[in-house]
Amino acid sequence: MPESRGYYGRFGGLYIPEILVATFDELIRAFEDAKADPSFWAEYEALMSTYSCRPTPITFAGNLTEDLGGARIYVKREDLNHTGAHKANNVMGQGLLVKRMGKRRVIAETGAGQHGVATATMAAKLGFECTIYMGEIDVERQRPNVFWMERLGATVVPVTEGSRTLKDAINEAFRDWVTNMDSTHYALGTACGPHPFPEMVSWFQSIIGTEAREQIQQIAGRLPDRVYACVGGGSNALGIFSGFLEDEGVELVGVEAGGHGAGSGRHAVRLSYDDASVGVAQGYKTWFLQDRDGQMQHTHSVAAGLDYVGVSPILADLHEKGRVRFEAATDTEVIDALARTVRREGLIPALESAHAFVQAFKEAPSMSPDQVILINQSGRGDKDIFTVADAFDDPKWKAFIREKARAYDA
Amino acid sequence: MPTTLESVVRERLAERDILLMTHIVLGYPSFEASLEIVDAMVEAGVDLIELQIPFSEPIADGPVILHANQKALAAGSTVERCFEAAHSLSDRHRIPLLFMTYYNIALQHGLEAFAKDTAAAGLRGAIVPDLPFEEGEELLDALAAHALDPIFIFSPNTSDARMRAIAERARGFVYCVARKGVTGAETDFAALDAYLQRCRAATSLPLALGFGVKSATDVAAIRGKVDIAIVGSETIRRIDEQGVDSVGPFLRGLR
Ligand SMILES: Cc1ncc(COP(=O)(O)O)c(C=O)c1O
């Protein structure tokens, strides 16, 4: 029986069906062993520096800094990871753990498709069988990622139950796992779910914060005043925040998906609006967007990767303790910030990451030029080309798609 | 009526060698129909019934019950209506009725209020499949305070030590999951003996076996090995395919 059940204040825990208890015991043991073994982290860093692009750089956003006329803006470039997002950090780490456990098959849920592509890539490299569960709606809006997952050898299963998005994909992955746990590891993609996932995913993602703390001091000559990250489940945020948790002077800001805004009922904001309440679902206790009966509600975001009903129990606790401040960015603000970042810096943040940029842009002008802002660019926006082109209502893009369709029909 | 669920089960076991527990989702396909289904089950001689309060994230349930949960919610099944339905069912029928639901439903209702209202609705206990005993102290205390029995679950990969720890908290009977996986798939009943011996060794409570029981052959295969056969998904599947009227004949044919 595990000693810790993964509580962070009153959040977290391990609420699982009896059939999975032995599997979680095994996973917790394997994780504890790996954590205690310095060679495991060394192997992880070596893999990430040769197979991915670690350490990822920090870029000074000079033009945006000048435009906004306040704090100096720096960007941590998780978009430069192999497969284009911070998701690779978690996935390669779990992949090494799967090898240690001697399992042969990995499964994962995916929203944006980013975690699915990362998992399929890991499976291809490490030689595992791979099945990815993805809400039917997300399959439709993230076709390029589905294409790559399948090319990488994964089976992509569209989930047609429930709201047909990320939470339903997680449920289906659990259903697979309770049947196939002997051969299979479930590589959960964010710092949510039952213990040890929140801790384990945050541990792998802490590579972001460890690097960033050292880099920013070299580049900017000081610690940042504020660090911004978007928050879906919370893994990229916890990754970068973890580097600065002990630095009291560093304000940590998590930005949630405001969708159509407060009061619209069409958003995925758990902590910075008043719509969520504390509950237990998908194996853990946190703030959920749920109705009075405890039924999970539909969420919305232009960014599929933030379109989720719950939030990391570690972040819920840091929120309660006042260590992390939470804000929300709406879909339209996100598209504007994305356009601006592309145009002024030549950086293409993912729609998810652009949420963090929105809040930084709001706050930078009222800060002084000797202050420092660090934004976590969790991923690159190429994958969002269809959504972004639609948001910009780009006529040439539409003509291209029409032409392509005609060519297929011919 | 005897006071404890366990004694009701034992009394029935004096009359027949295996009991039958069935399952419905409250509000599926409609509230009216779910009441009719229970009536038909009781008429067919079923000994216990699980009434599932639907939840949007039923991670321990397979596709058939998952779908029924979602249909029930879409049709407007609320927790309040489930309590009302449970109340009218326990008024009509004398066999033990149990709630089956996920922890969040009880948590949002208020754990004490959940126990109080469950008792007031005339139910005998609750099965909460996503609540390991380590997380369940508060709900267990609330249930105990209202003389309700928590039904715990054993699975084939539950260790002997853990089975004993679960047995200390279990009341009424123990729900033995026949195999890995979710509800509603195939089970090889012949391979169960060693597992069921471990279950017997861990508890003196009656044993119920579920997951994949769907025919008279299955029931015959476990007769003499367990005290209660649980039929879940199969009834729902029949209702989906053949309507409410098929429930009685199906259940009567099982033993
Ligand atoms: C690029 C990117 N950023 C952020 C997220 C949100 O996840 P998390 O909050 O766990 O970092 C996702 C999820 O798919 C993503 O793809």
Per-residue pLDDT tens digits for A10-19: 999 999 999 9
pLDDT given at position A137 = 86
Q: How many CB pairs under 8 A join A and B?
A: 112
> Cα distance from A99 to chain B (closest Cα, Å)?
22
Per the structure, how many domains does chain B have?
1
CA distances from residue B248 to A59, A283, B95 in whole angstroms, order as listed: 71, 37, 16
The mean pLDDT value for A49-73 works out to 98
pLDDT given at position A2 = 57
CATH code for the domain of B29: 3.20.20.70
Residue B84 at interface with chain A, using a CB cutoff of 8 Å: no
State which of A77, A80, A87, A202 you would mutate to test the pocket of ligand 1, scoring each by most atoms of that ligand within 8 A of its C-beta: A87
**A119 vs B234: CA distance, rounded Å:** 36
Cβ <8 Å between B177 and A19: yes
Closest chain B CA to residue A16: B130
State which of A146, A235, A319 you would mutate to test the pocket of ligand 1, scoring each by most atoms of that ligand within 8 A of its C-beta: A235
Cβ <8 Å between B181 and A179: yes
**Exposure string over A317-328, b if 16+ CB within 10 A, otherwise e:** bbbeeeebbbbb
pLDDT given at position B1 = 47
Residue of A5, A10, A11, A18 to mutate, interface with B, max B Cβ within 10 Å:
A18
pLDDT given at position B182 = 67
Domain A54-84+205-391 matching CATH 3.40.50.1100: the answer reads: yes
**Exposure string over B54-78, b if 16+ CB within 10 A, otherwise e:** bbbbbbbbbbbbbbbbbbbbeeebb
Q: Is residue A371's pLDDT more than 60?
A: yes
Domain A8-49+86-197 matching CATH 3.40.50.1100: the answer reads: yes
Establish whether residue A233 lines the binding site of ligand 1, counting it when its CB lies within 6 angstroms of any ligand atom.
yes
pLDDT given at position A391 = 86
Cβ <8 Å between B67 and A279: no
Establish whether residue A85 lines the binding site of ligand 1, counting it when its CB lies within 6 angstroms of any ligand atom.
yes
pLDDT given at position B183 = 66
Give the closest of A23, A292, A296 to B57, CB-based. A296
Cβ <8 Å between B134 and A5: yes
Let me know if B50 is a catalytic residue: yes
Residue A181 at interface with chain B, using a CB cutoff of 8 Å: yes
Share of chain B residues as helix, strand and coil, in percent rounded to the nearest 5: 50, 15, 35
Query: What is the identity of the amino acid at B163?
Result: M
CA distances from residue A232 to A83, A204, A228, A290, A311 in whole angstroms, order as listed: 18, 17, 13, 16, 7
Beta bridge partners of B125: B98, B149
State which of A80, A82, A83, A86 you would mutate to test the pocket of ligand 1, scoring each by most atoms of that ligand within 8 A of its C-beta: A86
- Locate the domains of chain A by residue range: 8-49+86-197, 54-84+205-391
Q: Is residue A197's pLDDT more than 70?
A: yes
pLDDT, tens digit (0-9, with 9 covering 90-100), for A73-114: 999 999 999 999 999 999 999 999 999 999 999 999 998 789
**A15 vs A283: CA distance, rounded Å:** 4
Location of structure tokens 């610690």: A223
**B189 vs B212: CA distance, rounded Å:** 9
Q: Identify all chain B residues contacting A181, using CB atoms and an 8 Å cutoff.
A: 180
* Cβ-contact A301, A348 below 8 angstroms: no
Contacts of residues B106-109 at CB distance under 8 Å and 24 or more positions apart, as own/partner, are B106/B139, B107/A279, B107/A280, B107/A294, B108/A277, B108/A279, B108/A290, B108/A292, B108/A293, B108/A294, B108/B79, B109/A293, B109/A294, B109/B79
Q: Residues B213, B215, B217, CA angle at the centre, nearest 5°?
A: 100
For residue A20, what are its two tokens? 């999975």
**B118 vs B31: CA distance, rounded Å:** 18
When the pLDDT of each residue in chain A is averaged and rounded to a whole number, the result is 96
The mean pLDDT value for A225-248 works out to 98
The residues in B 157-186 lying below 8 A from A, measured between CB atoms, are 157-159, 162, 166, 177, 180-182, 185
Angle at which helices A21-36 and A197-220 cross, to 10°: 30
Q: Identify all chain A residues contacting B55, using CB atoms and an 8 Å cutoff.
A: 294-295
Atom of ligand 1 nearest to the CA of A379: 1
> Looking at residue A181, what DSSP letter applies?
T
* Cβ-contact A190, A202 below 8 angstroms: no
Structural domain span for residue B64: 5-250
User: Which residues touch B3 (CB under 8 Å, ≥6 apart)?
Assistant: B147
The mean pLDDT value for A129-146 works out to 91
Neighbouring CB atoms inside 10 A of A274's CB total: 8
Residues of chain B with pLDDT under 70: 1-2, 182-186
Let me know if B61 is a catalytic residue: yes
Residue A365 backbone phi and psi in degrees, to 5: -60, -30
pLDDT given at position A165 = 82
SS3 call for B35: helix
Judge if pTM exceeds 0.80. Answer: yes
